[in-house]
């Protein structure tokens, strides 16, 4: 048993073990790698094994996690089943989904099959009813607040760059264009972090989803671009665009969008990706500087490459791309963790 676990947590685990989980004495609690939040995960040596979660209620959305989990369950979406919850202390017991992340099984040969699975689950999520008591709106305020993280944490705190008045005006115009594009899209349920580290391969070879407590109602391309322009996995532009447009056809078939021009959809997709990746530059920097999770430095280079790829593709974003390459890239080149990920694979 781990000495860093509180006796209160251990006592709760023992008290609330489900009757169908056989305990192999003594209880053994193995810490697991966490996510970007403050939750701590532990695997229990029960049969079948369970995951115990210490999720501080002052910092994590435990009620939202449970509410959304129940909605997903009703729709047949594979997520860790809830075995016990204590909201006051932030303790949870969950089904163990194992250790196989989608990220670890993606290859040139498997990508079509695995992304077909992930896209089918995404389509189910997007067809859920938008209960406002469960799914908050991903509105202008939320989108804008996320973008502000880029300037504060990536530009100023991580790189030590000051933004002058002219650049500030340019950035505000960019943000207006990005949020405008996001808000003109049809609205569906959005996971908000639908990527290869939050999708797991289960024993029956199906895909399950985790880390969904931030789900909202928002732009229809958000989760698609999170998946196809994954911050941890990169695919050729041709494959990304092909899969995006194939998914568009599926959206049209189920009536989630009216028929729209392919270029309109790809513009939605690309600008949504730029909004997300600008936000992620800020979030990853904050995780490094505030929370000490330095591993995210290794993931920033790909996010930068994604951002510049799209910034240089559209007239309304090109000024941002030029500014970034002139003012930000020289500072990036001084960082030991930075690698130029631009150019074809």
Give the pLDDT confidence of 109-163 residue by residue, as tens digits.
999 999 999 999 999 999 999 999 999 999 999 999 999 999 999 999 999 999 9
Q: Which residues are bridge partners to 95 per DSSP?
A: 50
Domain 7-95 part of CATH 3.40.50.300:
no
Sketch the domain layout of the chain as residue ranges: 7-95, 102-332
Give the pLDDT band (50/70/90) at residue 35.
Answer: low
- b/e string for 243-253 if b means 16 or more Cβ within 10 A? bbeebbeebee
Least confident of 96-100, 189-193, 339-343: 339-343
Contact 240, 223 (CB under 8 A): no
Query: If you compute the radius of gyration of the chain from its CA atoms, what whole number of angstroms results?
Result: 21
Residue 190 has pLDDT above 90, yes or no: yes
- b/e string for 109-134 if b means 16 or more Cβ within 10 A? eeeeebbebbbebbbbbbebeeeeeb
Nearest to 70 by CA among 61, 54, 82, 59: 82
5 preceded by cis ω (within 30°)?
no
- Give the number of other Cβ atoms within 10 Å of residue 79's Cβ: 22
> What pLDDT does residue 1 have?
44
Nearest to 282 by CA among 154, 104, 134, 124: 154
Nearest to 168 by CA among 181, 151, 154: 151
Torsions phi, psi of 103, nearest 5? Answer: -55, -35
The CATH code that applies to domain 102-332 is 3.90.1200.10
Q: Find the mean pLDDT for residues 334-343.
A: 93
Cα angle 175, 119, 342; round to 5: 50
Provide, rounded to the nearest whole percent, the portion of the chain with pLDDT above 90: 88
Please tell me the pTM assigned to this model: 0.94
Half-sphere exposure of 65 (CA within 13 A, CB side): 25
Give the pLDDT band (50/70/90) at residue 36.
Answer: low
Give the pLDDT band (50/70/90) at residue 20.
Answer: confident
DSSP string covering 232-264 = S----HHHHHHHHHHHHHHHHHTTSS----HHH
> What pLDDT does residue 2 have?
46
Residue 180 has pLDDT above 70, yes or no: yes
Give the pLDDT band (50/70/90) at residue 108.
Answer: very high
**What is the SS3 assignment for 54?**
strand
């Amino acid at each position: 048993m781990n000495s860093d676990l509180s006796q209160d947590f251990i006592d709760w685990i023992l008290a609330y073990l489900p009757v169908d989980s056989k305990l192999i004495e003594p209880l053994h609690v193995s810490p697991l790698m966490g996510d970007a939040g403050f939750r701590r995960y532990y695997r229990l040596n029960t049969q079948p094994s369970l995951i115990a979660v210490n999720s501080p209620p002052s910092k994590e959305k435990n009620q939202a996690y449970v509410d959304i989990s129940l909605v997903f369950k009703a729709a047949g979406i594979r997520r860790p089943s809830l075995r016990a919850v204590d909201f006051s202390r932030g303790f949870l017991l969950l089904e163990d989904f194992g250790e196989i992340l989608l990220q670890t099984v993606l290859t040139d040969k498997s990508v079509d099959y695995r992304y077909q699975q992930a896209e089918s689950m995404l389509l189910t999520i997007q067809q859920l009813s938008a209960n406002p008591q469960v799914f908050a709106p991903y509105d202008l305020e939320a989108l804008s607040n996320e973008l502000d993280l880029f300037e504060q944490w990536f530009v100023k705190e991580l790189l030590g760059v000051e933004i002058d008045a002219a650049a500030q005006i340019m950035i505000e115009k960019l943000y207006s264009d990005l949020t405008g594009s996001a808000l003109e899209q049809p609205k569906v349920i959005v996971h908000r972090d639908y990527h290869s580290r939050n999708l797991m391969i289960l024993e029956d070879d199906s895909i399950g989803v985790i880390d969904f407590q931030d789900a909202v109602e928002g732009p229809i391309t958000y989760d698609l671009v999170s998946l196809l322009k994954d911050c941890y996995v990169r695919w050729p532009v041709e494959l990304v665009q092909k899969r995006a447009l194939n998914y568009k056809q599926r959206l049209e078939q189920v009536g989630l969008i009216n028929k729209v021009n392919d270029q309109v959809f790809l513009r939605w997709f690309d600008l949504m990706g730029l909004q997300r990746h600008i936000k992620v530059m800020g979030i990853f920097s904050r995780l490094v500087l505030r929370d000490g999770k330095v591993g995210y430095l290794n993931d920033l280079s790909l996010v930068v490459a994604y951002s510049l790829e799209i910034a240089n593709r559209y007239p309304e974003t090109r000024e941002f791309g030029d500014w970034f390459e002139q003012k930000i890239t020289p500072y990036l080149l001084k960082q030991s963790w930075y690698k130029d990920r631009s150019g074809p694979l």
